[in-house]
Structure formats: structure tokens, C-alpha cells
Chain A
Amino acid sequence: MIKSTAKKIYLFLIFVLLYAPIITLMVLSFNNTKTRSKWNGFTGKWYLQLFQNKDIMNALYTTLIIAFLSALIATLIGTAAALGIQAMRTKARTLLLGVTNIPMLNADIVTGISLMLLFIACRFTLGFSTILLAHITFNIPYVILSVMPKLKQTSKRTYEAALDLGASPSYAFRKVVLPDIMPGIFSGFLLAFTMSLDDFVITHFTKGPGIDTLSTKIYSEVRKGIKPEMYALSTIMFLTVLILLFLVNMTPDDPKVKKAAVHAPAGKFRKFSRFFFHRFAPAAIMLVIVIGGFVYGSSSGNMSGEKVIVYNWGDYIDPEIITMFEDETGIDVVYEEYETNEIMYPKVQSGAIAYDVVCPSDYMVQRMIENDLLAEINYENVPNLKYIDDIYMEMSKQYDPENKYSVPYLWGTVGILYNKKMVDEPVDSWNILWDEKYTDSILMQDSVRDAFAVALKSLGYSLNSTDLDELEAAKKLLIKQKPLVQAYVIDQVRDKMIGNEAALGVIYSGEALYCQKENPDLEYVIPKEGSNLWIDALVIPKNAQNKKNAEAFINYLCRPDIAKMNFDYITYSIPNSAGRELIEDESMRESNIAFPDISQLKNCETFNFLGDENEIIYNQLWREIKSK
């Protein structure tokens, strides 16, 4: 008795472990706030908004279509392979089964990388088809391993008997072998479908721009906070499958019942209900999902064929603007996002994907100009440039001396965001980030230059220092700081500061404004030692395929009303006075954080590109810090 209770408790605990996160996600899908870290009352609005979110719906259907197609093709190839392998001699069979085991046992990261190398070597454009090929590849083994055991159980004799009785081989196969292995094929298909659905790593390496499965979409959202619609979608998917399984298992499976049912008067109905629940309902739901996917997929394409591929920072534009641009110009926008300049640069440099518009920061613009990656912008196609204030065009000469390659997009400062309830002393210096009082309550930026800028500035050096001793000192300082740091993050500072998870965080001014709106206890300060004054600018890479469209897009973003929409949405400072005048909220329009007087920011510097050599030194030092 005690033993069986103990067993039950044990089972229960394991299920708690496995299902706790799932319950959490379901609860979050009803949470009336965007941040993950606090409960703000019950709402069903995310479920409504989900169906209007084009991005998520696109990702959902890409995911489902890839899962369906890859599982289907893998089932065909895999079942045929299992039949063939079974007929082979032992040696060949062992060898082939060994190869089959490779994708299952191999690390996902190695499989993903190897396929990526292959696709790039074969000059396949990374996109839908490469993801599909990769998914078929890792799905086939699951099918083979599901079908093989069933094949082993089938008796050769029955098949031979059928042949003796005059059946053609294909007829005998259909009537004798196939029914026996059908359950194996079916479970192989289901397994393959699920595996494809849940895969992230391999998709991450084999996908191209503008295409996202749910996994990769979620991964790109991790840094800036997951959209609550995503929780809603997951909950729907989970519950759909749960209900499906429930329906399948609810039908009378007991053989006695079945027998009785056939003879009983209600037998026909039972038979029908069995058919309905077992075959029809699941098949119908699958069909709706898949056909819906194809219809949706084909309807969202633009007929004109004109497009522009934009590569921008995460969450750095009001999505409404993209839709408006598409409607007004008929140009399709393929939109992709990155988290740091350092992630963006190699992608553009490798030329594997020809982006049309990219939005690097100041020093990165300089680096791209020096390495001859940028095309000169034809300003005749960008008449709205007149709305950009002269002072910013002047500032941009620091990295683009002749104003030939770039158009300022947004700008701001870097400073400390702190929680007035957790920090009682005045904050005016970077040094507070080394105060042991705040151990585990400090958030640092997870990018090389930003992290080093903090250390260099607090030591009184320039944030463009290339002096090895100064850098070494900065490194030591950052290593000393590491035990105090709760996490190195990028856009997550936002969520964590709003959720009172940390007392102090290094943050961009635009994010600071957003945080203050959500949590009035937060205050932003630019430390007295000085900081970084940055500009993110729009540029066109040299290998752009749609330069005209790129210029049209840049021109569109310079329009005052569009700039104003952007400010309202992401609260980053716009270099566009005409746009600023349009901001309705006076506290925002006159905000000291959004629009500081640039002449007052004496100690602030703009990042310069320090040359590839120094770049390597910075990266090396950063890696040493991270691995300490």
C-alpha cells in the first residue's frame, strides 16, 4: 500500500516536472501584459490578435507545411527503404542501418552545420526548399525505425502463400504486407511530423532570409521579449492535439464491445462513430490545416514581383509601416532582423544573401565603407532627405565623411536605467555597476563594444581606445564585475527591468523611455564620465538586387509622419524635426531622454571603426571575459 502510494507520488512529481512549463505558458497566454515577468489580470485579447498577426500566422503555416511535406516524403522514402533494407543481406543491412543512425545520434548542431555547408557549396539559395530538404533528411530515420520492427513481425510465408495462390506481387503486397506494417508507417509519419514541428537547431542553420518557422521566429523574439500571441498559439496547438488524441482514444476499442456492437441494433451507429472519431475527424482537421496553409501561403505573395529585402535591428520599426509601404508602392518587403552589429556584419559580408537595406550603427557603417561593402545612395531618389536635420548629417560625417552612403535612421545615448525603489543613492556614475551591494541585480549589455565602452569610460579613457594597456585594464574591470552581473542581455533588459528583476541595467535611451512608460519606478541617467552617442543609419549593400526599391524604402522612412509613427511605436529618437513636431504627447516631444540637447553631451563620443586588427583584439578580450 505504502509502496503503491510512493509510486503514485513519484509519477506525479515527474509529470509536474514535465508539464509545469506547459501550464506556465498556458497561464501566460491569458496574461494582460506584454512582459513575461508579472501577472496583470486575465485577458483573452491575445487570442484575437493572434489571427491578425501576419508574421506569426505566416510562421505557423510555414511550419505546418514543412512538417507535413517532410513527414510525407520521409514516410514514402523511409517505408520503401525499410522494405529494401529488410531484403538485404546482413552485412549491407548493418551498414545501411548504421548510416540511418547517424542523423539520430549526431548532434543537431553538427547535422545543421553540415547541411548548411552543403547547400552553400551547391549554391542553393537558403530558404523554404533547404529547410524542407533538411527536415526530410532527419525525418527518414524515424520512419525507417518505426517500420522495421513491424516488418520483422510479418511472416514471409503469408506473402509467399498469396503469390502461390496467384496474386501478383504488388497485389500481394497491398493485401498482405501493407496492412501489417500500416501502424508502423502511421506512427512513423506522426513522429516525423512532430519532430519537424519541434526542430529548432537544424532549421536555424538551413534557413534563409524572410522565411521563419515558429521555432526560429521564437528564437529571434527571445532577445526582445516573446509576443504573448505566441503563447496563445502554442496553447491552441497543444489543446488541439490533446483533443484529437482524446477523440481517438475515446472510441470503443475493446474487442468485446466491438463484437457486441456489430450485432446490436445500434451497431451501425457505433461503426459510424468509430469511423468518424478514428479516421474522419483527425484526417479532416489535418486537411483543414494543410489546405489552409497552402491557400494562405499563396495569397500572401505579391503579384508584381517587385521586392526589397530589409535587414534591420530586432523590433526596430512599427510593423504597420511595412504594410503601408507595401500598399502604397506595391513593393513586397521581405523583412529580417538581427540583434547586434556583429551578427549582421558577416552575413552581409559573406554575400550569401543579397540584402537591399541594412541598418548598421555608426562604427559599423564606417567598417562597411572601408571594406567596400556599400553602394552609394542616389539621393535624387530620396527627396525626403530634406527632413533630416543638418546637425545629424553633420554628425554622420564622422563615419561617412562625404555623406554618400548612409541616411540617419534613429539615434540615442547609452546610460543606466535604475529602479528608484531598489537603489536609494543618487546614480550619476558608471562606478555603481561595480558596487557589491547590487550583486546579482546588474544587467550588462551582451555586445563587445557596448560592454567595453562602459568599462573604458568609467576608467576615464576614450571608448574608441586601441591602447592595449587601457583595454587590458578594461578587461580586468569587466572580469571583476562579472560575479555581480545577473545576466548579459540585449533587448531583454527591458522585460527584466519592468519586472523588477534587477536594480540597474545598461540600456539604450529608446528602450529606457519604453520601460518608464511601463514601470514608473525606473529612472534613466547618462553617467557623468560620458557615454556613447550613437546613430543607426540606413545603407544599401553593394550586392543589393533591388537598389531602386531600397531607395524608395529609405525615402519612405524619412517622411515626417512615418518617422513619427516609428517614434510612437519604438520610442527611439528620430533625427527628423518635422516628425518630432507631429508627436502629440508633449511629455514625449519635450522629453530629455528622447531629445537631449546634443551640445550638452560633452563627454559623449560616437563609436569609430577601429580596424579589423583591433576588432579581433576586442573580440578576443571579450571571449576571455565571457569564459571566466
Chain B
Amino acid sequence: MKNRKILAGPYLFWAMSFIIIPLLMILYYGLTDKNGSFTLNNLSQMTTPENLKALGLALLLSFISTLICLVLAYPLAMILAEKNMNQTSFIVLIFILPMWMNFLLRTLAWQTLLEKNGVINSILNFLHLPEQSIINTPSAIVLGMVYNFLPFMVLPIYNVLSKIDKDVIHAARDLGANTAQTFFKIIMPLSIPGIISGITMVFVPSLTTFVISDLLGGSKILLIGNVIEQEFKQGSNWNVGSGLSLVLMLFIIASMALIAKYDKNGEGNTF
């Protein structure tokens, strides 16, 4: 059995070259200027009013969409866990299958749905309801985030809920707890690992997206992801871009720490 460890060798090498070293590269670029000497200027770029605003807005929007995802996903996960349907077919249905239609196209389709003369407004018109104009507003971006990342919230919560021992719930009921009590005292505390994992799986990609804000925000709304993308792809200032990425990494590391604390055994894994 001992030499089985060697099997992890190629992966170890791979992780070193393509996960660790690249992150160190960001660190290097983020802490140096164009001539390669040490500086903290790139990090302090985050505090310019424009970047601060982009970060603040990104935090706000990703917070809102995480909250909405949680509220939508929890009942869904409960219903599905109750039904005890075949797990693979369910994952496929909400997760894998949509991915075969490209992520950009799916998000773009929301433009067609939300536009002034779009599908939703045509339906509202038909029903003589007031038109909604949410395309190119922060609301549209939140919708795009919720739409894209909802499965990442449902799956971990579902995984945890379906593993809860039914006897524990029965015992609570036998001892006289009502539905609400059972939920708050038993089910919810037991599902914390799934919730935490779901929150990070939604929060981090929402915080850092530039595509969704690009497609649904009409280029009027800059999130921190857009700022970084532009530094790399348009402004060509890789040092500042790396510096800003480093600041973002703080939020990511915080999420990882949160997971490590609440989900020690990986119960809330998405897959």
C-alpha cells in the first residue's frame, strides 16, 4: 500500500506548476512596478474612488444575489431531498444539461427576454400589466448572477439534507417538537456545512464576474471584475491588474477559511 502514494506524484507536480507557481506570479506582479522593483502602489490602486466604487457595487450585488440564491435554493433542496429522487438525474437536469448551451449564450438570452420590446414585456403588455425595464440596470445583473449560480447553491444544500438521518427528525417529532422547531433546531443546524459551501460557491464567482455585468449591464455598470479584466486586456497594466487581483484574493481566502471552519469533512461538497 505504501508505494500507492507515488500515484499522487504527477498531480503534485501539476499542482505545483499550474496552481501554486501561477499564484506566486500574481503576487510578484502585484507587488512590483513596471521596472520590477518593489511597490505597494498597485494594491493602493484599490482605494481610488472609481475602483472603490466598483468593489463596493460588486460586493453589494454579489451579497444580494447570494441571499436570493439561498432563499430560493433552500426550499428547493428540501423538496428534492424529501422526494429522494435519483441524485444523478437531478444533478444532470439542473446542472449539467444547461451547460451544454453555452454560458454566454444563455446569459445573452436574458437580453432578449428582458429588453424593452422583449419577451417578458410582450407578455406583460398582453396581460395589461405595467412594463418592466430592468435591462442594463443592477437588477438585471443580479438576475444574471442568480440564474447562473443558483445550482451551486442548491447542490451542496441538497447533498447535506439528503444525508440527514431520518431517525433524528423522527426522534425530535416524538419528543414533541413541532414543524418549525424541528426545522430550526435540527434540520437547519445540520445543514450548515452545505449552506456555507453554497454561499462561497455563489459569492466568489458573483463578486469577480465581468461577463455578466458586461452582457446585462449595457457597459454602464463597472464591477471590480470589469476593472481587472480591462487592466489586463485593454489597459495593459498587468501590475495594477495583479495588485487588484491580490486584494480580491483576500475575499477568496476568507471564504476558504470559512469552509475549513464549518465544513471540515467536506460534507457540503458540491459534487
> A interface vs B, CB < 8 Å?
7, 10-11, 14, 17-22, 24-25, 28, 36-38, 77-78, 80-81, 83-88, 96-103, 105-111, 113-118, 121, 133-134, 136-137, 140, 142, 144-146, 187, 190-191, 194-195, 197-198, 200-201, 205, 214-215, 218-219, 222, 226, 230-231, 234-235, 237-238, 241-242, 245, 249, 340, 342-343, 345-346, 349-350, 440, 446, 482, 485-489, 499-501, 619, 623-624, 626-627
Contacts and interface: CB of A to CB of B under 8 A. Distances in A.
B209 to A, nearest CB: 8
A234 B101 contact: yes
Contact of B111 (A36, A85, A134, A237): A36
B191 interface: no
B79 A7 contact: yes
Q: Which 9 A-B pairs have the closest CB atoms?
A: A84-B8, A487-B218, A346-B236, A81-B11, A114-B22, A21-B109, A107-B208, A84-B7, A87-B4
A488 B234 CA distance: 17
Contacts of B18: 115, 118, 133-134, 136-137
Nearest to A199: B103
Contacts of A343: 233-234
A24 B113 contact: yes
Contact of A107 (B242, B252, B269): B252
A44 B122 CA distance: 25
Contact of B105 (A101, A110, A231): A231
Given A201-B211, A440-B133, A627-B53, A191 B271 contact: yes
B105 A226 contact: yes
B245 A626 contact: no
A626 B222 CA distance: 7
B104 A109 contact: no
Contact of A230 (B54, B105, B207, B271): B105
Contacts of B2: 87
Contacts of B177: none
Interface string B246-266: 001100100110011000001
Contacts of A446: 219
9 contacts: A21-B105, A24-B112, A77-B10, A106-B249, A118-B17, A218-B104, A235-B101, A342-B234, A626-B219
A218 B107 CA distance: 11
Interface string B179-200: 0000000000000000000001
Given A10-B79, A18-B147, A627 B50 contact: yes
Given A19-B98, A81-B10, A88-B8, A113 B147 contact: no
A200 B236 CA distance: 20
Interface string B65-103: 000000010011001000000001100101011111111
Contacts of A241: 97, 100
Given A107-B204, A200-B103, A245 B10 contact: no
A506 to B, nearest CB: 14
A201 B228 CA distance: 12
Contact of B220 (A219, A222, A485): A485
A171 B112 CA distance: 57
B99 A197 contact: yes
B113 A84 contact: no
B176 to A, nearest CB: 22
B5 A114 contact: no
Contacts of B20: 99
A114 B235 CA distance: 17
Contact of B109 (A25, A98, A116): A25
A80 B10 contact: yes
B136 interface: yes
A513 B8 CA distance: 61
B205 interface: yes
B256 A21 contact: no
B25 A245 contact: no
B271 A145 contact: yes
B110 interface: yes
Contacts of B12: 81, 96
Given A88-B5, A346-B236, 6 more contacts: A24-B113, A36-B111, A81-B8, A107-B225, A110-B208, A198-B102
Contact of B88 (A84, A144, A187): A187
B109 A619 contact: no
B271 to A, nearest CB: 6
B4 A113 contact: no
A22 B99 contact: no
Contact of A113 (B222, B234, B242): B242
Contact of A100 (B15, B22, B117, B147): B15
Contacts of A340: 234
Contact of B79 (A11, A97, A136): A11
Contact of B150 (A18, A103, A440): A18
Contacts of B207: 107
A489 B236 CA distance: 21
Given A200-B104, A241-B97, A619 B219 contact: no
Most buried by A among B11, B79, B248: B11
A118 B21 contact: yes
B130 interface: no
B76 to A, nearest CB: 6
A18 B94 contact: yes
Contact of B101 (A102, A205, A237, A346): A237
B40 interface: no
B104 A113 contact: no
Contacts of B175: none
B80 to A, nearest CB: 8
Residue of B20, B112, B208, B242 most packed against chain A (CB within 10 A): B112
Contact of A105 (B133, B220, B259): B259
A108 B208 contact: yes
Contact of B99 (A85, A137, A198, A231): A198
B241 to A, nearest CB: 7
Q: Which of B7, B49, B209, B248 has the most CB of A within 10 A?
A: B7
B244 to A, nearest CB: 10
Contacts of A235: 101
Contacts of B249: 106, 110
A114 B105 contact: no
Contact of B136 (A201, A342, A487, A623): A487
B98 A22 contact: yes
Contacts of A105: 200-201, 204, 252, 255-256, 259
A127 B207 CA distance: 28
A556 to B, nearest CB: 30
B28 to A, nearest CB: 8
Given A22-B101, A146-B271, A488 B205 contact: no
Contacts of A482: 220
B158 interface: no
Nearest to B79: A7
Nearest to A103: B19
Nearest to A83: B7
B36 interface: no
B141 interface: no
Nearest to B54: A627
A99 B54 contact: no
Nearest to B234: A343
Contacts of A102: 19, 23
Contact of B219 (A19, A80, A487): A487
A10 B76 contact: yes
Nearest to B104: A218
B164 interface: no
